[in-house]
Amino acid sequence: MFTNSTSVTTIEAFILEQESRYPEATGELSNLLYDIALAAKIIAAAIRRAGLVNILGSIGQKNVQGEEQQKLDVFANETIIKAVDHGGRLCAMASEEVEGIIPIPENFKCGKYCLLFDPLDGSSNIDVNVPVGTVFSIVQKITRGRHGEMEDLLQPGRRQVAAGYVIYGSSTMLVYTTGQGAHGFTLDPSIGEFLLSHPNIRTPDEGQFLSVNDSYEQYWDEPTKKLMRRYRGLEGDRRHLTVRYVGSLVADFHRNLLGGGVFCYPHSRKSPQGKLRLLYEANPLAFICEQAGGAAIDGKTRLLDVQPTDLHQRTPLFMGSKSDVDLALQTFAHHSELVGA
Ligand code: AFP
């Protein structure tokens, strides 16, 4: 129904249409998603100006309006918090930028959802004009009190009710799921609206791309080295994958989601649990990946089944096209000695 040459669907209209399929829905989740989309537009506008920083004043200096320039990841963090904390939909938040739970201020109503997010992933790439992203995950509160507690935030990924990411690239795109497929929206900057551009994304079963930082090969265990040889077609009878690695998770994930491929951030002697964060990086992308027909594991276990124990815990990650992730599962299944497992 949504895309043909004569119809344009805004993210608001799409979310509303999806909500109408559930008569029991209160609209709270929809409103929360709008608020996140608004924050994404504000962050996108700030990122577009980042290249002008040398002209307008660098971080920590005053800009031409006499305002203090903020680091973009701090700005993104505050923008998201301010966009969502007062709507009465959330009872707690967690962010890559903040050590503990971010509470809802006392003067605002608390709701039934928790938001976990990485406000600006890959921010070290901004200086060189490489895409960066925001990643978010929403779970429902399970404790009884008014405010959300750690237990509410530490839920396995399969309990996510919504998840998404924003990629600030040559265009800004927001991709989200509420468990009814993964849908992508492109920001039209001339009207300031996210428009449906990629309804019901399906990732190919067999990928084209391998995304891994192989400068860590010296720290990998034998099964990981074997897996990479298999992906490259140096061992076994599979066709080889082409290597593409931006080093900006959302950019690597987004390319592989659309084109097919596998993103790997393995455990290693250097990083026994990998680098990426389970709750607000790996889980939301894993939810989207599964909704698009792909898969995500930590080496042995479906990622969405991992029980978190810490807000900022890291996880090894193998995520993308189903047959490529299956190969990782098979390769590691025969080895009990995974580093970090
Ligand atoms: P930065 O935010 O420090 O740029 O890190 C980006 C990131 O968290 C993720 O976006 C990348 O996929 C990953 O790290 C890259 O890590 P390596 O540089 O170790 O490959």
Alpha-carbon gap, residue 126 to 248, rounded angstroms? 10
- How many angstroms separate the alpha carbon of residue 223 from the centre of ligand 1? 23
255 DSSP β-pair partners: none
Q: What is the CA radius of gyration of the chain?
A: 20
Q: Which residue has the tokens 């690695």?
A: 245
- Token pair of 116, please? 């976990």
CB 253 within 8 A of CB 319: yes
Kindly report which listed range (59-63, 132-136, 217-221) carries the lowest average pLDDT score.
59-63
Q: What is the pLDDT of residues 286-313, one digit of tens each?
A: 999 999 999 999 999 999 999 999 999 9
Report the residue count for the chain: 341
What spacing in Å lies between the alpha carbon of 31 and ligand 1's midpoint?
31
Lowest average pLDDT, out of 11-25, 135-149, 224-238, 321-335, goes to 11-25
Where does the pLDDT of residue 25 fall: very low under 50, low under 70, confident under 90, or very high at 90 and above? Answer: confident
Atom of ligand 1 nearest to the CA of 124: 4
Q: Which atom of ligand 1 is nearest to the CA of 276?
A: 8
Percentage of the residues of the chain whose pLDDT score is greater than 70? 91
Is 125 a residue whose pLDDT tops 60? yes
- Long-range contacts (CB closer than 8 Å, 24 or more residues apart) made by 232-241: 238/327, 241/207, 241/208, 241/209, 241/210, 241/324
Q: Report the range of poorest mean pLDDT among 169-178, 266-275, 310-319, 326-335.
A: 326-335
Report whether 165 contacts 288 (CB < 8 A): yes
pLDDT of residue 26: 85
Lay out the sheet containing 317-320: strands in order across.
242-243, 209-211, 261-265, 317-320, 295-297
Which atom number of ligand 1 is nearest to the Cα of residue 263? 12
User: What confidence score (pLDDT) does residue 69 get?
Assistant: 54
pLDDT of residue 64: 53
pLDDT tens per residue, range 146-197: 999 999 999 999 999 999 999 999 999 999 999 999 999 999 999 999 999 9
Tell me, in angstroms, the distance from the centre of ligand 1 to residue 53's CA. 23
60-103: pLDDT as tens digits: 655 555 555 568 889 999 999 999 999 999 999 999 999 999 99
| Atom 8 (ligand 1) nearest CA | 122
CA of 222 to the centre of ligand 1 (A): 23
Helix (H, G, I), strand (E, B) or coil at 320: strand
* Distances from the Cα of 56 to the Cα of 43, 46, 71, 137, 146, angstroms: 17, 12, 14, 34, 44
Instruction: For residue 89, give both structure tokens.
Output: 């939909």
* Residue 199 near residue 183, CB atoms below 8 Å: yes
Nearest CA to ligand 1 atom 12: 249
Within 13 A of 296's CA, how many CA atoms are on the CB side? 29
More confident residue, 337 or 75: 75
Atom of ligand 1 nearest to the CA of 133: 10
Please say whether the beta carbons of 174 and 191 come within 8 A: no
Residue 3 — very low, low, confident or very high, per pLDDT cuts 50/70/90? very low
For the chain, where are the alpha helices, taking DSSP H only?
A: 11-19, 28-48, 53-56, 72-84, 150-153, 222-231, 249-259, 283-291, 322-333
Please state the rounded mean pLDDT for residues 256-284: 97
Distance 329 CA to ligand 1 centre (A): 24
- pLDDT beyond 70 at 57: no
Spatial distance between the Cα atoms of 245 and 39, rounded to a whole number of angstroms: 27
Asked whether the predicted pLDDT for residue 21 surpasses 70, the reply is yes
Ligand 1 center–CA 276 separation, angstroms: 8
Residue nearest to atom 13 of ligand 1 (CA): 247
The lowest-confidence range among 51-55, 229-233, 299-303 is: 51-55
Q: Which residues line ligand 1 (CB under 6 A)?
A: 121-125, 213, 247-249, 275
Q: Rounded mean pLDDT of the chain?
A: 91
Q: What separation in Å is there between the alpha carbon of 97 and the centre of ligand 1?
A: 15
| Atom 4 of ligand 1, residue of closest alpha carbon | 122
* pLDDT surpassing 70 at residue 59: no
* Bridge partners (DSSP) listed for residue 185: 174, 196
pLDDT recorded at residue 61: 56
